[in-house]
Amino acid sequence: MSGHGVALRVIDCGKTFADGTRALAPVALEVGRGETAVLLGPSGCGKTTLLRIIAGLETPDPGGRVLFGDTDVTGVPIERRNVGMVFQSYALFPNMNVADNIGYGLKIRGVGEAERKTRVAALVALTGIEGLERRRVDQLSGGQRQRVALARAVVVQPSVLLLDEPLTALDAALRERLRGELNRLLRKLGITTIYVTHDQAEAMALGDRIVVMRKGEIAQIGTPRAVYFAPANKFVAEFVGAANLIEAACNGATLVLPGGTLPVANGAIHGQAIAMIRPEAIAIVPAESASLVGLVDSVSFLGDRQRVLISAAAAKVMTADVPNAIALAVGDRVGLAVEPAAIRLLPGDAT
Amino acid sequence: MRSGPPRAWAAGGAQSPMTKAAFIRICLLPLAVVVAAFFVLPMTRLVWIGASGRHGIAAYAAIVLEPRYAASLLDTVLLALATTVATLLIATVSGLFLQRRRFPGRALLVAMLTLPLAFPGVVIGFLIILLAGRQGLLGDITLALFGQKLVLAYSLAGLFLGYLYFSIPRVILTIMAAVEKLDPSLEEAARTLGAGSWAIHRDIILPALAPALIASGAIAFATAMGAFGTAFTLATDIDVLPMLIYTEFTLSANIATAAALSVGLGLVTWAILALARIYGGNTVAANG
Ligand SMILES: Nc1ncnc2c1ncn2[C@@H]1O[C@H](COP(=O)(O)OP(=O)(O)OP(=O)(O)O)[C@@H](O)[C@H]1O
Ligand SMILES: [Mg+2]
């Protein structure tokens, strides 16, 4: 039952609500067949709005178009778009048991009882909720509800699967486990998937591509690696993972900082620049042999690593994640080393 | 407020088992008084009076054995049932529409619909006479159209109209409140699964409204069973049970029969409501 997805294209879809709220500037998005795209962005940036436009629950402003494969579905009502949707609240039908919830889409499509049973059973097994078929949905745990909602959405073999923050309602440990399960399931089903989240770790883990959104616009589209290592601007750099954003003068080959210099590899410029350095790219070395030195401000032991705040190296306090074995004390004078390739110069705008 | 003195909290916590039990007992006191004063004592007395007439306990048997009483009881139950069903149908459709659609004049319409809430039964009876009485609008129209005057006001149909008029506003308000509380994502989920409007109403909306329908239907039914003002104004040709009780009580001074009929009215209403509750509860449980 894999590979029944279609490619998805969103062309110039903006959304201005009746009350004048401009939730989405006209955006364009292409998602390949079977691909998982994650919409990532802070609260209120228009993720749900874009998802609902794709689903057919909202109509885009005039000029916007949504294409499933080669079919323009902009004017097609949701009940005939063949999308599967998982809502943040799961929206399970309280008057039906688990099996009836999962089988509802098949029943509406007039699938016979026998086939319905086999297909529901297959999804029950796939999502690991055997034994709960006769349960009422209000007697399920959060994780079980999430699975039922997913099973209900995919049993009809949708062209596109849409998930709106499906894990947000769960506690951290469960979220991590289900994230792994969900990832395996999406690969196995091979459905074209749009996944909305504001959790960047979730986006990294699940997305073939990440669509970073901000104030109703798309800030960057790229693979998790591209978005992480080569953010398009300051916003993306800060939103996806932790980042040191250092304003410094660049003389073509090195960054000149209060505590010394750092060599830059690619894209070096002459003049003021904003350099992005991920905390884990900074290594602590003996001060004598380093081109850049600073003072240890604080050390937090995080178990697998320690997070060190370093002052006096740059204009702002820098954050470094270093191996947990290195002995450091507040006030230590340390040298900082960064691979030139790990320094990324960003355009100054889009703060 | 939140940062109240911690010592007071600690002290309260230590005493709480005692205090709590005493508190609950104090809270139960008004309920006990009300139950005793308005329920147990008068009801016992009513039941006793019912059996104190010339025929003793047989007065109760007369409710079903005496054709006049039995017919009146049947009429009353049927009328109340018809009123309830019609009210629920009309109020559900209109309540859904009123809560879901925004149109000019909507607020005014809702306000107008709830106006009859304030009217006593007599006024409603009067309105029905104006509508369908001998000099009524309906009569004038039918006279002009068919050359014959249609007069409904003093028949079962007139009572039915009056009761409808009485119960629709109440039920509409309950339904509108219930519709407002419906979770829109449930309908959206059903739509993504391919359900059209009809299927959504059948599978999602009506099951979700069932508790409100049962509760407001029960109230409409009980009100129709016991309605007196409207019946008093309109029921010249028919004997609904409350009217019968009134005539037995005031005109015939047949107090024992009046009491027996009252007890009967209460029991029948209570039994039908209990049935509805059990059946309604079962359907919800069976679906769930
Ligand atoms: N029906 C509506 N009418 C008016 N404004 C709306 C409506 N729905 C959403 N908005 C506004 O549009 C903007 C984008 O909303 P949207 O729900 O798409 O954000 P989001 O990215 O999903 O946020 P979150 O992560 O909090 O769910 C918000 O400012 C919101 O207030
Ligand atoms: Mg949202």
Amino acid at B85: V
Instruction: Tell which CATH classification among 1.10.132.20, 3.90.1150.10, 1.10.10.60, 1.10.3720.10 matches the domain B62-283.
Output: 1.10.3720.10
Beta bridge partner(s), residue A323: A305
Q: Say which residue the tokens 């709830």 belong to.
A: B114
**Lowest mean pLDDT across A134-143, A220-229, B205-214, B237-246:** B237-246
Contact A84 B203 (CB under 8 A): no
| Structural tokens at position A207 | 């997305």
Contact A104 B192 (CB under 8 A): no
- Average the pLDDT over A302-314 and give the result: 86
- Residue A270 clears pLDDT 80, i.e. is over it: no
Q: What pLDDT is recorded for position B15?
A: 53
- Average the pLDDT over A202-229 and give the result: 92
Q: What pLDDT is recorded for position B201?
A: 92
A14 Cβ below 6 A of ligand 1: no
Neighbouring C-beta atoms of residue B113, cutoff 10 Å: 18
Q: Which of A76, A87, A93 to mutate to test the interface with B (most CBs of B within 10 A)?
A: A93
The alpha-carbon gap from B235 to the nearest alpha carbon of chain A, in Å, equals 43
Q: Would you call B108 helix, strand, or coil by DSSP?
A: helix
- Of B189 and A328, the structure prediction assigns the larger pLDDT to B189
Phi, psi of B157 (to 5 degrees): -65, -40
Which of the four pLDDT bands, split at 50, 70 and 90, describes residue A54? very high
- Whole-number Å distance between alpha carbons of A109 and A320: 56
CA B273 remoteness from chain centre:
10
- Average the pLDDT over A211-218 and give the result: 92
Closest CB to A95 among B183, B194, B288: B288
- Residue A66 clears pLDDT 80, i.e. is over it: yes
Closest CB to A109 among B188, B194, B210: B194
- Whole-number Å distance between alpha carbons of B255 and B45: 12
Q: Are B192 and A153 within 8 A, CB to CB?
A: yes
Q: What pLDDT is recorded for position A223?
A: 94
Closest to B142 in 3D by CA, of B126, B162, B133, B124: B133
**Lowest mean pLDDT across A149-163, A261-275, A287-301, B34-48:** A261-275
Cβ < 5 A residues, ion ligand 2: A 48
| Structural tokens at position A294 | 């600073």
Q: Would you call B119 helix, strand, or coil by DSSP?
A: coil
Which of the four pLDDT bands, split at 50, 70 and 90, describes residue B288? very low
Residues of B with a Cβ under 8 Å from any A Cβ are 183, 185-186, 188-196, 199, 203-204, 207-208, 210, 284, 287-288
Q: Quick one: what percent of chain B has pLDDT higher than 90?
A: 15
Which of the four pLDDT bands, split at 50, 70 and 90, describes residue A162? very high
Which of the four pLDDT bands, split at 50, 70 and 90, describes residue B16? low
- Residue A340 clears pLDDT 90, i.e. is over it: no
Domain A8-236 fold: Rossmann fold (3.40.50)
- Average the pLDDT over A307-315 and give the result: 85
Which of the four pLDDT bands, split at 50, 70 and 90, describes residue B59? confident
Q: Are A299 and A308 within 8 A, CB to CB?
A: yes
Contacts of B189 in chain A (CB under 8 A): 85, 87, 91-93, 152
Closest to B262 in 3D by CA, of B275, B251, B250, B246: B246
- Average the pLDDT over B33-40 and give the result: 85
Q: What is the pLDDT of residues B151-160, one digit of tens each?
A: 887 888 888 9
Q: Are B154 and B236 within 8 A, CB to CB?
A: yes
Q: What pLDDT is recorded for position B264?
A: 87
**Lowest mean pLDDT across A162-166, A308-312, B2-6, B223-227:** B2-6
Listed in order, the ranges of chain B carrying CATH 1.10.3720.10 are: 62-283
Neighbouring C-beta atoms of residue B142, cutoff 10 Å: 17
* Pairing label, strands A83-86, A160-164: parallel
* Pairing label, strands A333-338, A344-346: unpaired
- Residue A92 clears pLDDT 50, i.e. is over it: yes
Contact B194 A95 (CB under 8 A): no
The alpha-carbon gap from B81 to the nearest alpha carbon of chain A, in Å, equals 26
Contacts of B213 in chain A (CB under 8 A): none
- Residue B282 clears pLDDT 70, i.e. is over it: no
The CA dihedral of A294, A295, A298, A299, to the nearest 10 degrees, is: 70
Q: How many CA atoms lie within 13 A of A161 on its CB side?
A: 33
Q: What pLDDT is recorded for position A201?
A: 87
Neighbouring C-beta atoms of residue B94, cutoff 10 Å: 18
Q: H or E element: which one contains B244? A: helix B241-246
- Residue A258 clears pLDDT 80, i.e. is over it: yes
The alpha-carbon gap from A98 to the nearest alpha carbon of chain B, in Å, equals 9
Contacts of A53 in chain B (CB under 8 A): none
Amino acid at B188: E
- Average the pLDDT over B240-246 and give the result: 85
- Residue B210 clears pLDDT 80, i.e. is over it: yes
- Whole-number Å distance between alpha carbons of A172 and A174: 6
Q: Where are the domains of chain A?
A: 8-236, 245-346
- Average the pLDDT over A5-12 and give the result: 88
> Is the ipTM beyond the 0.85 threshold?
no
**Lowest mean pLDDT across A34-43, A216-225, A318-327:** A318-327
Angle in degrees, 0-180, between the axes of helices B255-287 and B67-100, rounded to the nearest 10 = 40
Beta bridge partner(s), residue A30: A9
Q: What pLDDT is recorded for position A348?
A: 62
Q: Quick one: what percent of chain A has pLDDT higher than 70?
A: 97
Q: What single DSSP character describes residue B35? A: I
On whether the A245-346 domain is CATH 3.90.1150.10, my answer is no
- Residue A349 clears pLDDT 60, i.e. is over it: no
DSSP string, A85-126: EE-TT----TTSBHHHHHHHHHHHTT--HHHHHHHHHHHHHH
- Average the pLDDT over A182-199 and give the result: 88
- Of B56 and B248, the structure prediction assigns the larger pLDDT to B248
- Residue A113 clears pLDDT 60, i.e. is over it: yes
| Structural tokens at position A194 | 């749009």
- Whole-number Å distance between alpha carbons of A43 and A183: 23
Contacts of B186 in chain A (CB under 8 A): 91, 93
A20 Cβ below 6 A of ligand 1: no
- Whole-number Å distance between alpha carbons of B19 and B264: 44
DSSP string, B190-212: HHHTT--HHHHIIIIIHHHHHHH
- Residue A139 clears pLDDT 80, i.e. is over it: yes
- Of B203 and B12, the structure prediction assigns the larger pLDDT to B203
- Give exposure, B8-23, as e/b (b: 16+ Cβ within 10 Å): eeeeeeeeeeeeeeee
Q: What pLDDT is recorded for position B7?
A: 47
Which of the four pLDDT bands, split at 50, 70 and 90, describes residue A101? very high
